[in-house]
Amino acid sequence: MILVIDVGNTNITCGVYEGETLKTTFRITTKIPRTSDEYGMMLTDLLKMNGIDKKQIEGCIIASVVPKVMHALNSACIRYIECNPLVVGPGTKTGIKITTDNPREIGADRIVDVVAAYEKYGGPVLVMDFGTATTYDLVTEDGCFGVGITAPGIGISAKALWEDTAKLPEIEIKKPKSILAKETVSSMQAGLVYGQIGQTEYIVGQVKKESGLSNLKVVATGGLGRIIADETDAIDIYDKTLTLDGLRIIYQKNAGK
Protein backbone atom coordinates (compact mmCIF):
# COMPACT_ATOMS: atom_id res chain seq x y z
CA MET A 1 0.00 0.00 0.00
CA ILE A 2 1.07 3.59 -0.57
CA LEU A 3 0.09 6.74 1.31
CA VAL A 4 -0.61 9.80 -0.87
CA ILE A 5 -0.79 13.26 0.71
CA ASP A 6 -2.10 16.43 -0.96
CA VAL A 7 -1.24 19.54 1.09
CA GLY A 8 -3.61 22.33 0.10
CA ASN A 9 -4.08 25.78 1.54
CA THR A 10 -7.16 24.71 3.49
CA ASN A 11 -6.88 20.95 4.03
CA ILE A 12 -4.33 18.14 3.90
CA THR A 13 -6.07 15.31 2.05
CA CYS A 14 -4.68 11.80 2.45
CA GLY A 15 -5.44 8.57 0.66
CA VAL A 16 -4.23 4.97 0.82
CA TYR A 17 -3.95 2.92 -2.36
CA GLU A 18 -3.60 -0.81 -2.76
CA GLY A 19 -2.55 -1.12 -6.37
CA GLU A 20 -4.94 1.18 -8.23
CA THR A 21 -7.70 0.83 -5.64
CA LEU A 22 -8.28 3.74 -3.27
CA LYS A 23 -8.89 2.03 0.09
CA THR A 24 -9.61 5.07 2.26
CA THR A 25 -9.30 8.85 2.51
CA PHE A 26 -9.15 11.34 5.39
CA ARG A 27 -8.42 15.04 5.92
CA ILE A 28 -6.45 17.24 8.32
CA THR A 29 -6.76 21.02 8.62
CA THR A 30 -3.72 22.74 7.12
CA LYS A 31 -3.75 26.11 8.85
CA ILE A 32 -3.11 24.91 12.40
CA PRO A 33 0.68 24.84 13.16
CA ARG A 34 1.77 21.34 14.17
CA THR A 35 4.98 19.57 15.15
CA SER A 36 6.23 16.43 13.45
CA ASP A 37 5.08 14.40 16.46
CA GLU A 38 1.57 15.84 16.18
CA TYR A 39 1.42 15.03 12.47
CA GLY A 40 2.82 11.58 13.16
CA MET A 41 0.24 10.75 15.83
CA MET A 42 -2.59 12.08 13.69
CA LEU A 43 -1.50 10.09 10.63
CA THR A 44 -1.05 6.82 12.53
CA ASP A 45 -4.33 7.25 14.44
CA LEU A 46 -6.31 8.12 11.30
CA LEU A 47 -4.79 5.18 9.41
CA LYS A 48 -5.73 2.87 12.29
CA MET A 49 -9.28 4.27 12.48
CA ASN A 50 -9.64 3.52 8.77
CA GLY A 51 -8.48 -0.06 9.18
CA ILE A 52 -4.91 0.44 7.92
CA ASP A 53 -1.89 -0.74 9.92
CA LYS A 54 0.99 1.69 9.35
CA LYS A 55 3.24 -1.34 8.74
CA GLN A 56 1.23 -1.99 5.57
CA ILE A 57 2.41 1.33 4.08
CA GLU A 58 5.30 0.61 1.72
CA GLY A 59 5.69 4.07 0.20
CA CYS A 60 4.56 7.67 0.47
CA ILE A 61 4.26 10.68 -1.85
CA ILE A 62 3.46 14.32 -1.04
CA ALA A 63 2.37 17.25 -3.21
CA SER A 64 2.30 20.55 -1.34
CA VAL A 65 1.51 24.21 -1.99
CA VAL A 66 2.26 25.12 1.66
CA PRO A 67 6.05 25.03 2.18
CA LYS A 68 5.94 25.89 5.90
CA VAL A 69 4.33 22.55 6.86
CA MET A 70 6.70 20.37 4.88
CA HIS A 71 9.55 19.95 7.38
CA ALA A 72 7.24 18.69 10.12
CA LEU A 73 5.12 16.55 7.79
CA ASN A 74 8.12 15.01 6.05
CA SER A 75 9.72 14.20 9.42
CA ALA A 76 6.46 12.66 10.63
CA CYS A 77 6.34 10.29 7.64
CA ILE A 78 9.92 9.20 8.20
CA ARG A 79 9.61 8.69 11.97
CA TYR A 80 6.07 7.39 12.37
CA ILE A 81 5.22 5.76 9.01
CA GLU A 82 8.83 4.68 8.40
CA CYS A 83 8.72 5.95 4.80
CA ASN A 84 10.91 8.60 3.22
CA PRO A 85 8.30 10.38 1.10
CA LEU A 86 8.69 11.32 -2.54
CA VAL A 87 7.92 15.06 -2.75
CA VAL A 88 6.55 16.23 -6.10
CA GLY A 89 8.81 18.95 -7.51
CA PRO A 90 11.54 19.66 -10.05
CA GLY A 91 13.08 16.41 -11.26
CA THR A 92 10.02 14.29 -10.49
CA LYS A 93 9.04 12.09 -13.43
CA THR A 94 5.44 12.91 -14.44
CA GLY A 95 4.99 12.01 -18.10
CA ILE A 96 3.87 15.60 -18.78
CA LYS A 97 6.03 18.20 -20.52
CA ILE A 98 5.66 21.61 -18.84
CA THR A 99 6.03 24.34 -21.46
CA THR A 100 5.13 27.44 -19.41
CA ASP A 101 7.57 30.36 -19.36
CA ASN A 102 8.69 29.42 -15.83
CA PRO A 103 7.94 25.76 -14.99
CA ARG A 104 9.16 26.16 -11.40
CA GLU A 105 6.25 28.52 -10.70
CA ILE A 106 3.67 25.80 -11.33
CA GLY A 107 2.12 24.45 -8.14
CA ALA A 108 2.57 20.77 -7.40
CA ASP A 109 -1.20 20.34 -7.07
CA ARG A 110 -1.74 21.55 -10.63
CA ILE A 111 0.93 19.21 -11.98
CA VAL A 112 -0.65 16.28 -10.16
CA ASP A 113 -4.11 17.13 -11.51
CA VAL A 114 -2.99 17.39 -15.14
CA VAL A 115 -1.03 14.14 -14.88
CA ALA A 116 -4.13 12.31 -13.63
CA ALA A 117 -6.46 13.86 -16.21
CA TYR A 118 -4.11 13.13 -19.10
CA GLU A 119 -3.46 9.53 -17.98
CA LYS A 120 -7.13 8.79 -17.28
CA TYR A 121 -8.90 10.70 -20.06
CA GLY A 122 -6.26 11.55 -22.67
CA GLY A 123 -5.65 14.88 -24.35
CA PRO A 124 -6.45 17.54 -25.17
CA VAL A 125 -7.97 18.11 -21.75
CA LEU A 126 -8.79 21.15 -19.65
CA VAL A 127 -8.49 20.43 -15.93
CA MET A 128 -10.48 22.51 -13.45
CA ASP A 129 -9.82 22.36 -9.71
CA PHE A 130 -12.37 24.08 -7.47
CA GLY A 131 -10.21 24.56 -4.40
CA THR A 132 -9.09 27.60 -2.43
CA ALA A 133 -8.40 29.02 -5.90
CA THR A 134 -10.23 27.89 -9.02
CA THR A 135 -7.68 26.80 -11.61
CA TYR A 136 -8.00 25.89 -15.30
CA ASP A 137 -5.05 24.00 -16.85
CA LEU A 138 -4.75 22.90 -20.47
CA VAL A 139 -2.89 19.79 -21.63
CA THR A 140 -2.48 19.18 -25.35
CA GLU A 141 -2.96 15.88 -27.14
CA ASP A 142 0.78 15.19 -27.00
CA GLY A 143 1.00 15.83 -23.24
CA CYS A 144 2.25 19.42 -23.08
CA PHE A 145 1.05 21.61 -20.21
CA GLY A 146 1.65 25.25 -21.00
CA VAL A 147 -1.57 27.16 -20.35
CA GLY A 148 -3.16 27.96 -16.99
CA ILE A 149 -5.80 30.34 -15.66
CA THR A 150 -6.18 31.17 -11.95
CA ALA A 151 -9.25 32.75 -10.35
CA PRO A 152 -10.46 33.24 -6.76
CA GLY A 153 -12.18 30.15 -5.41
CA ILE A 154 -15.81 30.15 -4.31
CA GLY A 155 -14.73 29.94 -0.67
CA ILE A 156 -12.42 32.96 -0.99
CA SER A 157 -15.17 34.98 -2.65
CA ALA A 158 -17.68 34.02 0.02
CA LYS A 159 -15.24 34.86 2.81
CA ALA A 160 -14.60 38.28 1.27
CA LEU A 161 -18.34 38.96 1.25
CA TRP A 162 -18.97 38.29 4.92
CA GLU A 163 -15.64 39.52 6.28
CA ASP A 164 -15.37 42.75 4.31
CA THR A 165 -18.98 43.90 4.60
CA ALA A 166 -20.62 45.00 7.83
CA LYS A 167 -24.01 43.31 7.54
CA LEU A 168 -23.60 40.24 5.32
CA PRO A 169 -23.63 36.95 7.29
CA GLU A 170 -21.50 33.83 6.95
CA ILE A 171 -23.47 31.39 4.80
CA GLU A 172 -23.47 27.81 3.48
CA ILE A 173 -22.27 27.66 -0.10
CA LYS A 174 -25.00 25.91 -2.08
CA LYS A 175 -27.21 26.55 -5.09
CA PRO A 176 -30.39 28.41 -4.09
CA LYS A 177 -33.80 27.40 -5.44
CA SER A 178 -33.79 30.35 -7.83
CA ILE A 179 -31.44 33.06 -9.01
CA LEU A 180 -34.33 35.46 -8.31
CA ALA A 181 -33.36 35.81 -4.65
CA LYS A 182 -35.65 37.69 -2.27
CA GLU A 183 -33.55 37.71 0.92
CA THR A 184 -29.88 38.12 1.91
CA VAL A 185 -28.69 34.52 2.29
CA SER A 186 -30.11 33.24 -1.00
CA SER A 187 -28.97 36.40 -2.79
CA MET A 188 -25.39 35.71 -1.67
CA GLN A 189 -25.70 32.03 -2.64
CA ALA A 190 -27.06 33.02 -6.05
CA GLY A 191 -24.21 35.44 -6.69
CA LEU A 192 -21.55 32.95 -5.60
CA VAL A 193 -22.84 29.82 -7.34
CA TYR A 194 -24.31 31.30 -10.51
CA GLY A 195 -21.34 33.64 -10.74
CA GLN A 196 -19.00 30.63 -10.69
CA ILE A 197 -21.13 28.82 -13.27
CA GLY A 198 -20.96 31.85 -15.53
CA GLN A 199 -17.21 32.18 -15.06
CA THR A 200 -16.75 28.48 -15.82
CA GLU A 201 -18.80 28.57 -19.01
CA TYR A 202 -17.12 31.73 -20.31
CA ILE A 203 -13.56 30.60 -19.59
CA VAL A 204 -14.12 27.12 -21.05
CA GLY A 205 -15.67 28.67 -24.16
CA GLN A 206 -12.87 31.19 -24.55
CA VAL A 207 -10.17 28.52 -24.09
CA LYS A 208 -11.79 26.39 -26.81
CA LYS A 209 -12.09 29.41 -29.10
CA GLU A 210 -8.52 30.69 -28.71
CA SER A 211 -6.88 27.24 -28.71
CA GLY A 212 -8.94 25.94 -31.61
CA LEU A 213 -9.48 22.69 -29.68
CA SER A 214 -13.16 22.05 -30.27
CA ASN A 215 -12.72 18.44 -29.09
CA LEU A 216 -11.34 19.56 -25.71
CA LYS A 217 -12.47 17.40 -22.78
CA VAL A 218 -13.21 19.33 -19.59
CA VAL A 219 -12.53 17.53 -16.30
CA ALA A 220 -13.33 19.06 -12.91
CA THR A 221 -12.32 18.17 -9.37
CA GLY A 222 -12.17 19.84 -5.97
CA GLY A 223 -14.50 20.01 -2.99
CA LEU A 224 -16.99 22.51 -4.45
CA GLY A 225 -16.64 21.26 -8.00
CA ARG A 226 -19.65 18.93 -7.77
CA ILE A 227 -21.99 21.90 -7.17
CA ILE A 228 -20.81 23.58 -10.37
CA ALA A 229 -20.42 20.42 -12.49
CA ASP A 230 -24.04 19.46 -11.85
CA GLU A 231 -25.26 22.81 -13.18
CA THR A 232 -23.42 23.24 -16.49
CA ASP A 233 -22.78 21.32 -19.69
CA ALA A 234 -19.38 23.02 -19.98
CA ILE A 235 -17.91 20.32 -17.69
CA ASP A 236 -17.77 16.82 -19.17
CA ILE A 237 -16.50 14.85 -16.17
CA TYR A 238 -16.40 15.45 -12.41
CA ASP A 239 -13.69 13.32 -10.77
CA LYS A 240 -13.51 13.78 -7.00
CA THR A 241 -10.36 11.63 -6.58
CA LEU A 242 -8.40 13.15 -9.49
CA THR A 243 -5.63 14.66 -7.33
CA LEU A 244 -5.12 11.53 -5.26
CA ASP A 245 -5.07 9.41 -8.43
CA GLY A 246 -2.44 11.76 -9.86
CA LEU A 247 -0.24 11.24 -6.82
CA ARG A 248 -0.55 7.47 -7.19
CA ILE A 249 0.34 7.67 -10.89
CA ILE A 250 3.37 9.86 -10.24
CA TYR A 251 4.55 7.57 -7.44
CA GLN A 252 4.33 4.56 -9.76
CA LYS A 253 6.28 6.40 -12.47
CA ASN A 254 9.07 7.12 -9.98
CA ALA A 255 8.96 3.83 -8.07
CA GLY A 256 12.24 2.66 -9.60
CA LYS A 257 14.19 5.64 -8.25
Q: Choosing from 45, 101, 109, 230, which is the catalytic residue?
A: 109
Q: What is the pLDDT of residue 90?
A: 84
Q: 147-183: buried (b, 16+ CB within 10 Å) or exposed (e) per residue? A: bbeeeebbbbbbeebeeeeeebeebebebbeeeebee
For the chain, the domains span 2-87, 97-240
pLDDT category at 104 given cuts 50, 70, 90 is confident
Which range (22-26, 197-201, 230-234, 253-257) has the least confidence? 253-257
Q: What does the mean pLDDT of the chain come to?
A: 94
Please name the fold of domain 2-87. Answer: Nucleotidyltransferase; domain 5 (3.30.420)
Query: At 256, is the pLDDT very low, low, confident or very high (cuts 50, 70, 90)?
Result: low
Concerning whether 230 is annotated as a catalytic residue, the answer is no
pLDDT at position 257 is: 54
**What is the DSSP secondary-structure string of 163-178?**
HSSSSPPP------S-
Q: Which pLDDT belongs to residue 51? A: 95
Cβ atoms of 250 and 94 closer than 8 Å: yes
Would the CATH topology of 2-87 be identical to that of 97-240?
A: yes
Name the pTM for this structure.
Answer: 0.92
Residue 133 has pLDDT above 80, yes or no: yes
| 97-240 placed in CATH 3.30.420.40 | yes
pLDDT tens sequence across 160-185: 999 888 889 998 899 999 999 999 99
